[in-house]
């Protein structure tokens, strides 16, 4: 089989002392060639790390030496040779090669420096993701993304949730906003879904009780910020027989589990990124919306009135205040004015101006929004009308509330925002392979 012929080990699998003098075959990319005259180092890089391949001029055939010297960076090679412990080399060993096969030669010059010595602009990195991903720092981010998604799935499974997928091509806007991408669906107009909200509520009523989905959401908002994408990955859940407080616990558990799994399974990647990850302590602090407004008015640079939505600036004031007080990045803002939350949010029975809602925040931005949902048909229909929407276009959704809809609650958590805050990255585009934003549609 090809795989065995081209590679017996990954660079990380080699134990220098135990495997000294053994023959191994490594496969990967030429990270760097250092020609020191009498000695030539070829640094081979694979997904797991680097290995130094050392050729001493006097000891090898001169053609072989010259060929190695001229290897192009980022060419794909397979190297067979013997292992020699060497403290100064990466991973504590070098390989003395018998054979180097070039599997495919790379063009030159490269669109960016894969050794990370020369920093490239974000746009250059995104235009050339295929090469950018070769940088250990970039690939570390996406391995951590994998660990986060795996941990999220684990936690949902552990808590009895069923994974679902809902349609992304839909006929109705979720929240009636204008932030939708219209598409042509045969001879009709359709949209790319901005949230699985309505579908996950229907699913949950249909006997699955506790559901989750990890999938794309599309938002045609024209913002050009470092925390918004036009296509993002949303981690969504909906849980029957639950209120907002029940699902806040699931959210805290999800976050804490993601952090601890990354810490456990991606220590090498965290090292590449220079991060000493702290698992957040649960439960997270809970502030009411009214308390948040008071803090913003007392400590912030702007005056907000009860009923206003929080601006980016006020989110910063609040996050910094909470962090100074508690030393924690994550916190909840609960009990929002009903008017500024979506129509499906459940108002408190004894004070309908306030709703059973929350946002979960990280110091500088929102990570998640959630709520207990309205499960009464009439109330929901009224709320849709009050928000100036046409209940007829919500038939498919409203119907589900006529045939035994349990009380329920749910949240949506931005996968990219979770990752960028976990890794302390400033720009959300860093954690998406091929970001879609105001200007970027390719690659
Ligand atoms: P914001 O006010 O920060 O724009 P939102 O309140 O519009 O967010 P929700 O509709 O509450 O967002 O979506 C739930 C979560 O999905 C958000 O908390 C966020 O983590 C993520 N999310 C929403 N829109 C985007 C986007 N355009 N880009 C990246 N993540 C997003
Ligand atoms: Mg929100």
Per residue in 131-179, pLDDT (tens digit) is 999 999 999 999 999 999 999 999 999 999 999 999 999 987 666 666 8
Question: Which ligand lies nearest to the CA atom of residue 360 in the structure?
Answer: 1
Measured in Å, residue 414 CA sits from the centre of ligand 1 at: 6
Closest CA to 51 of 109, 15, 90: 90
Q: If 0-12 CB within 10 Å is exposed, 13-18 middle and 19+ buried, where does residue 41 land?
A: middle
411 alpha carbon, closest ligand: 1
The conformation of residue 364, written as its DSSP 8-state character, comes to: T
Q: 140 — phi, psi (to 5°)?
A: -60, -40
Known binder of ligand: residue 228? yes
pLDDT of residue 174: 63
Pick the CATH number of 131-284+328-431 from 3.60.15.10, 3.30.930.10, 1.20.5.510, 3.60.21.10: 3.30.930.10
CA 401 – CA 386 distance, rounded (Å): 18
The tokens for 253 are: 């558990």
pLDDT at position 2, please? 87
Name the strand (E) or helix (H) holding 241.
none
Cβ of residue 369 lying under 6 Å from some atom of ligand 1: yes
Flag residues of the chain having pLDDT under 50.
none
- Candidates 394, 370, 365, 77; CA nearest to 249 is 370
Q: Are 139 and 257 in contact (CB under 8 A)?
A: no
Residue 277 labelled as part of a binding site: no
Q: Which residues are catalytic?
A: 219, 221, 227-228, 366, 369, 417
**Nearest-angstrom CA–CA distance, 195 and 236:** 9
User: What is the structure's pLDDT at 288?
Assistant: 98
The pLDDT score that the predictor gives to residue 207 is: 87
> Residue 420: helix, strand or coil by DSSP?
helix
The CATH number for 11-104, chosen from 2.40.50.140, 1.10.10.10, 3.90.930.12, 2.40.10.480, is 2.40.50.140
Q: How far is the CA of 267 from the centre of ligand 1 (A)?
A: 29
**Ligand closest to the CA atom of residue 233:** 1
pLDDT of residue 179: 86
Q: How far is the CA of 412 from the centre of ligand 1 (A)?
A: 8
| Token reading at 297 | 């008015």
Residues lying with their CB under 5 A of ligand 2, a single-atom ion: 369
| 388 marked as part of a ligand binding site | no
**Cβ contacts of residue 395 below 8 Å, gap of 6+?**
none
Q: Which two tokens stand for residue 252?
A: 């805290």
CA distance 325 to 109: 51
Give the domain ranges of the chain. Answer: 11-104, 131-284+328-431
Alpha carbon of 414 to ligand 2 centroid (Å): 10
- Helices H, strands E: what count in the chain? 13, 18
Question: pLDDT value at position 366?
Answer: 98
46 lines ligand 1 (CB under 6 A): no
Contact 387, 343 (CB under 8 A): yes
Is 219 near ligand 1, meaning CB less than 6 Å away? yes
C-alpha span between 201 and 155 (Å, rounded):
20
Q: How far apart are CA 355 and CA 345, in angstroms?
A: 6
Residue from 181, 200, 217 whose mutation best tests the ligand 1 pocket (most atoms within 8 A of CB): 217
């Amino acid at each position: 089989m090809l795989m065995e012929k081209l590679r017996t080990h990954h660079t990380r699998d080699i134990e220098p002392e135990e495997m000294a003098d053994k023959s191994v075959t490594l496969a990967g990319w030429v990270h760097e060639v250092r020609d020191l005259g009498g000695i030539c180092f070829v640094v081979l890089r694979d997904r797991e790390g680097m290995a130094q391949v050392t050729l001493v001029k006097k000891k090898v055939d001169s053609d072989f030496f010259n060929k190695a010297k001229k290897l192009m960076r980022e060419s794909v090679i397979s190297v067979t040779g013997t292992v020699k412990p060497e403290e100064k080399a990466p991973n504590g060993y070098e390989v003395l090669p018998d054979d180097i096969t070039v599997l495919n030669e790379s063009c030159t010059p490269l669109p960016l420096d894969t050794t990370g010595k020369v920093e490239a602009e974000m746009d250059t990195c995104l235009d050339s993701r295929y090469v950018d991903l070769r940088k250990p720092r970039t690939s570390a981010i996406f391995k951590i993304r994998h660990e986060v998604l795996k941990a999220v799935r684990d936690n949902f499974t552990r808590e009895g949730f069923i994974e679902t997928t809902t349609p992304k091509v839909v006929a109705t806007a979720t929240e009636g906003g204008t932030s939708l991408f219209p598409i042509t669906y045969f001879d009709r107009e359709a949209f790319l879904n901005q949230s699985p909200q309505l579908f996950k509520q229907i699913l949950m009523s249909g006997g699955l009780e506790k559901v989750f989905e990890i999938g794309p959401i599309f938002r045609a908002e024209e913002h050009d910020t470092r925390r918004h994408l036009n296509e993002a990955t949303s981690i969504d859940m909906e849980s029957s027989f639950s209120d907002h407080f029940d699902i806040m616990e699931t959210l805290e558990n999800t976050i804490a589990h993601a952090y601890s799994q990354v810490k456990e399974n991606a220590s090498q990647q965290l090292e590449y990124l220079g991060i000493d990850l702290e698992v957040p302590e649960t439960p997270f602090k809970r502030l009411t919306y009214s308390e948040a407004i008071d803090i913003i008015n007392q400590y912030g640079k702007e005056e907000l009135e009860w009923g206003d939505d929080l601006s980016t600036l006020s989110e910063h004031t609040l996050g910094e205040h909470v962090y100074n007080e508690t030393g924690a990045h994550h916190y909840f803002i609960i009990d929002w004015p009903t008017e500024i939350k979506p129509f499906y949010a459940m108002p408190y029975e004894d004070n309908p101006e306030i709703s059973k809602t929350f946002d979960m925040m990280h110091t500088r931005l929102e990570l998640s929004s959630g709520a207990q949902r309205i499960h009464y048909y009439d109330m929901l229909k009224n709320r849709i009308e009050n928000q100036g929407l046409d209940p007829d276009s919500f038939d498919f959704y409203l119907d589900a509330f006529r045939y035994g809809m349990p009380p329920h609650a749910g949240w949506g958590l931005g996968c990219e925002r979770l990752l960028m805050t976990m890794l302390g990255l400033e720009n959300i585009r860093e954690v998406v392979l091929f970001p879609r934003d105001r200007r970027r549609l390719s690659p």
